Amino acid sequence: MKSKLKLIDESGRRIDGRLLDELRPLRFEVGILKNADGSAYIEQGGNKIAVAVYGPREVHPRHQARPDRALLRTKYRMATFSVKDRKSPTPGRREIEISKVIREALEPALLLEKFPRTAIDVFIEVLQADGGTRCASISAAALALADAGIPMRDLVTAVAVGKVDGRIVLDLNHLEDQYGEGDMPVAMMPSLNAITLLQCDGTFTLEEFKEALELAKKGIGVIYEKQREALRSKYLDALKTYRVI
Amino acid sequence: MSRIEHVIPLIKQKTIRALLEKGERLDGRKPMDFRDVEINVGVIDSAEGSAIVNLGNTMVIAGVKLGMASPFPDSPNSGALIVNAELIPLASPLFEYGPPKEEDIEISRVVDRGIRSSKLIDLEKLVIVTGRKVWFVYVDLYALNHDGNLLDACMLAAVSALLTARKPKTRIEGDHIEILDEKEPIPIGNTAISITFAKIGEYVVVDPTYEEELAMDARLTICYDKEGRIVAIQKGGSGYFTSEEVIDLGKKGLEISRKLISKLPTPLSE
Domain that holds residue B86: 10-261
What CATH number should be reported for the domain holding residue B120?
3.30.230.70
Residues of B in contact with A199 (CB under 8 A): 232-235
Query: Do the domain assignments include residue B268?
Result: no
Give the lowest-confidence range in A236-245, B13-22, B173-182.
A236-245
- Find the mean pLDDT for residues B97-102: 90
Q: What average pLDDT does range B209-238 have in this prediction? A: 96
pLDDT band at B94 (very low <50, low <70, confident <90, very high): confident
Instruction: Note whether B240 contacts A189, CB cutoff 8 Å.
Output: yes
Query: Is residue A235 pLDDT above 90, yes or no?
Result: no
A100 interfaces chain B, CB cutoff of 8 Å: yes
Helices (H), chain A: 93-106, 133-147, 174-179, 206-244
Instruction: With CB atoms and an 8 Å threshold, state whether A108 touches B108.
Output: no
- Give percent of chain B above pLDDT 90: 86
**Structure confidence at residue A242 (pLDDT):** 66
Q: What is the dihedral of CA B252, B257, B259, B264, to 10 degrees?
A: 170
Instruction: Decide if pLDDT at B21 tops 90.
Output: yes
Q: Which residues of A touch B218 (CB under 8 A)?
A: 104, 108
DSSP of A66-89, one letter per residue?
-SSSPEEEEEEEE-TTSSSSPPPS
| Chain B interface includes A229 (CB < 8 A) | no
Q: What percent of chain B has pLDDT over 70?
A: 98
Residue B1 — very low, low, confident or very high, per pLDDT cuts 50/70/90? Answer: very low
Q: Give A241→chain B minimum CA distance, Å.
A: 39
Whole-number pLDDT of residue A42: 97
Tell me the nearest-neighbour CA distance from A96 into chain B, angstroms: 6
Q: How confident is the model at residue B2 (pLDDT cuts 50, 70, 90)?
A: very low
Find the residue in A nearest to B254 (Cα): A206
Q: Would residue B5 count as lying in a domain?
A: no
Give the pLDDT band (50/70/90) at residue A238. Answer: confident
Please report residues of A whose CB lies closer than 8 A to that of B228.
Answer: 205-206
Domain count, chain B: 1
* CA B172-B169-A1 angle, 5° bins: 75
Mutate to test the interface with B, among A86, A161, A203, A215 (most CBs of B within 10 A): A203
Q: How confident is the model at residue A78 (pLDDT cuts 50, 70, 90)?
A: very high
Nearest chain B residue (CA) to A107:
B238
What is the reported pLDDT for A4? 65
Chain A with chain B: Cβ pairs closer than 8 A: 99
Question: Nearest chain B Cα to A111, which residue?
Answer: B238
CA B159 to chain centre: 7
pLDDT digit string (tens) for B161-212?
A: 999 999 999 999 888 889 999 999 999 999 999 999 999 999 999 999 999 9
In a domain? residue B2? no
Q: Write out pLDDT tens, residues B244-262.
A: 999 999 999 999 999 999 9
Q: Does B229 sit within 8 Å of A201, measured CB to CB?
A: no
Measured distance CA(B97)–CA(B101) in Å, rounded? 10
pLDDT at A243: 61
Closest A-chain CA to B224:
A203
Largest CA distance in chain A: 65
Q: For position B10, what pLDDT does the model report?
A: 87
Interface of B with A (CB under 8 A): 3, 75, 77-78, 100, 102, 105-106, 108-109, 113, 116-118, 124, 218, 220, 225, 228-243, 246-247, 250-251, 254
Cα nearest neighbour of A216 on chain B: B243
Cα B196 to Cα B183: distance, rounded to the nearest angstrom: 35
What is the distance, to the nearest Å, from the Cα of residue B211 to the centroid of all Cα atoms in its chain? 20
DSSP A114: G
Average per-residue pLDDT in chain A? Answer: 94
Rounded to a whole number of angstroms, the distance from the CA of A104 to the nearest CA of chain B is 5
Q: What digits encode the pLDDT tens for the residues A160-219?
A: 999 999 999 999 999 999 999 999 999 999 999 999 999 999 999 999 999 999 999 999
What pLDDT does A227 receive? 98
Which CATH number is associated with domain A26-244? 3.30.230.70
With bands split at pLDDT 50, 70 and 90, how would you rate the model's confidence at B4?
Answer: very low
- Taking contacts as CB-CB distances below 8 angstroms, the residues of chain A near B238 are 104, 107-108
Mean pLDDT to the nearest integer, B212-233? 97
pLDDT at B268: 87
- Residues A59-71 have a mean pLDDT of 93
